[in-house]
Chains A and B, each alone.
Chain A
Amino acid sequence: MDNRPTGRRRFLKNGVALARFGLAGLAIGGARSARGQTNGSETAAASPKDLRAYGERSRFETSARTYVSGEPNTYAPIQDYDGIITPSSLHYVFTRGITPMDIDPREHRLLIHGMVDRPLIFTMDDLKRFPAVSRIHFIECVANTAPTRGRANYETVQERFGKSSCSEWTGVPLSTVLKECGVKKGASWLLAESADKIRHSMSITMEKAMDDALLAYGQNGEAVRPDQGYPLRLLVPGWEGVRNVKWLSRIQVGDTPFMTHIEIGTNASLRKDGKARWFNLEMGPKSVITRPSGGQRLLDKGFHEITGLAWSGGGAIRKVEVSTDGGRTWNDAQLQEPVLRIAHTRFRFPWKWNGEEAVLQSRCTDERGIVQPSLVEFANIWGVKPDYFRTTTNSVIHFNPIQPWKVTREGSVKNVIWEV
């Protein structure tokens, strides 16, 4: 007999662990069955305006989201972001006209059904009992930087790039919960559906669901904000923002894409040949200089740090280059740690302004070696002239060309994407 633990001893050990697990489950289960109870400790109710209980920023700070006319949608002040985390209060909101839901988490349910062995309904308390993870990821709207939207006010980085934000998300991996339901052989797609007033729904592949999708209930160390899907949203890292379904209440498992009206309508990328490229699932590499940027003003000659953000749905950012002479020469910017997969990455570049006109721009390369295209390269992919994007009424999404800003002799900064 060797010295390894015997199978019996191993079995007993596991048995003890399972028994303890079961008991713990019972203990918490008791609290859970009493409707309205949570696992958290009871705290004295604090008035919402009690700043000792829940703080506020300085009254001198004015950075804010801006409204998109007539809708609950807002652009995030990306020019004011520091580091890589977007404050939850400033995360962009783009909900296709849907007013954020006001959901009591005690009433909220998630149903998983379709091609599974065991359809299951989960309460929020159920979901919070699964082993959890926290991950830092950006979410970007497919219409971010789109050339055909809001052309009248299209000068600032907030209006152009303010539909990308980055948070630390906490939740249970979707794979864990799907395995609990037992995915049937042949299931290859799932539909994620919201509890909102039009039950917004989108397809994602089983491969992605089993890879890194998250049922998220936490954002930057507290509950997901109502305008981000409280109490539960789907996180599909690096994929189109519209697939990160908020107020998530139903997942249907199937064997084909579900062909929601968005997938076969506005979000198919329609090209000049009349063929639409549909299911452009992943967001491409993108970067932008956020300071200085359109609408800002340099007060003095001399030293200015150029800074901005880069991100890619395909993984980590490997390189960001900056040009201060309209793209004639490029130099590597410094990437600030941490440089994370599928997250905003902060870059910095020292610059001395000599008071002359200058065109500043950045381009990034992701871990797969995919380089952010110039406008001309992007137009070539589409088989059109660059001017097409300025004039067409076609909906152009996944628009990620290099963004140039011109600094004039007076120090004002302008969007010159169409002039290069």
Chain B
Amino acid sequence: MSFGKSDFILLLMTLVPLTVLAQSPVYNLGRSPTADDSRAMGSFVDLSGKDLPPGRGTAIEGAKIFAQKCAACHGLDAEGTRAGPRLVGGKGTIGTADPVRTIGSFWPFSTPIWNTINRSMPAGQAGSLKPDEVYALTAFILYRNDLIKEGDVIDAKTLPKVQMPNRDGFTPARLEDINRMRCRVGTCP
């Protein structure tokens, strides 16, 4: 069997659009972000914490920052005010008729504490905290929920390892099952 010129053109015409166009932008709109853009915009770290930045902090350091930058909304004791939710306590209330959901009593993972402080806090000055401050505040919240000791260092290595008491309190338990859920309405069991 011979492979003629027309066959070659045909082959090109079928392969080129499939391989090149499928991966290429169609409209060529927008521009690539610079390193500065990406730094300015920031990002979430995932549950493994593999993208956590360098830095460290303890609850002792965190207590000072909390009093300065967080207590106005969350209260000096982190038990919440009208302006900001309670962050501590609620231990043992989750299965009762009046559950008190806090980071300590309810949250299943530790890295979301980092994301929430780093991305969102303080309200109105989101993104202003340095990594050391975010680690220190994270340590303070964990310490005030009796999950670490006051002098324990929280950093990229230790944070993902903190065991949250309510880790098994969620259904479906496996993350990969969440987006397979077909029964999503509020009336589903």
Contact = CB atoms under 8 A, between A and B. Distances in A.
Check if A and B associate: yes
Interface of A: 7, 11, 25, 70, 97, 111, 113-114, 117-123, 126-127, 129-130, 176, 179-182, 188-189, 191, 193, 197-201, 205-207, 249-250, 252, 254-261, 264-266, 268-270, 272-285, 312-314, 370, 372-373, 377-378, 381, 388, 391-395, 397-400
B27 A111 contact: no
Interface in B158-174: 169-171
Given A121-B30, A197-B124, A199-B119, A278 B186 contact: no
A400 B186 contact: yes
A373 B119 CA distance: 39
Interface in B1-30: 9-10, 13, 23, 25-30
Interface string B21-64: 00101111111110001100101101100000000000000000
B97 A272 contact: yes
Majority secondary structure, B binding face: loop
Given A130-B29, A275-B169, A205 B179 contact: yes
B33 A113 contact: yes
B184 A381 contact: no
B122 to A, nearest CB: 9
B187 A250 contact: no
Interface of B: 9-10, 13, 23, 25-33, 37-38, 41, 43-44, 46-47, 82-83, 85, 94-95, 97-99, 101, 106-109, 111-112, 115-116, 119-121, 123-124, 126-127, 169-171, 175, 178-179, 181, 184-189
Nearest to A282: B184
Nearest to B25: A180
B78 to A, nearest CB: 15
B169 A274 contact: yes
A394 B98 contact: yes
Contacts of A191: 44
Give 8 closest A-B pairs by Cβ, nearest first. A398-B186, A274-B95, A284-B185, A282-B184, A120-B30, A198-B120, A122-B30, A284-B186
16 contacts: A7-B10, A113-B43, A114-B43, A176-B27, A188-B179, A191-B44, A254-B46, A255-B46, A259-B108, A260-B115, A265-B85, A265-B101, A273-B95, A276-B169, A277-B171, A313-B184
Given A114-B43, A256-B47, A370 B33 contact: no
A279 B181 contact: yes
A256 B95 contact: no
Contacts of A394: 97-99
Given A117-B23, A280-B185, 16 more contacts: A97-B83, A180-B27, A180-B30, A198-B123, A256-B47, A259-B111, A259-B112, A265-B107, A277-B171, A282-B184, A284-B186, A285-B185, A373-B187, A393-B98, A394-B99, A400-B187
B170 A276 contact: yes
A201 B188 contact: no
In this complex, the member of B44, B85, B106, B121 whose beta carbon has the largest number of chain A beta carbons within 10 angstroms is: B44
Contact of A259 (B47, B121, B123): B47
A390 B77 CA distance: 30
A252 B23 contact: no
In this complex, the member of A97, A122, A198 whose beta carbon has the largest number of chain B beta carbons within 10 angstroms is: A198
B47 A264 contact: no
B39 to A, nearest CB: 11
B99 A270 contact: yes
In this complex, the member of A181, A261, A280, A312 whose beta carbon has the largest number of chain B beta carbons within 10 angstroms is: A261
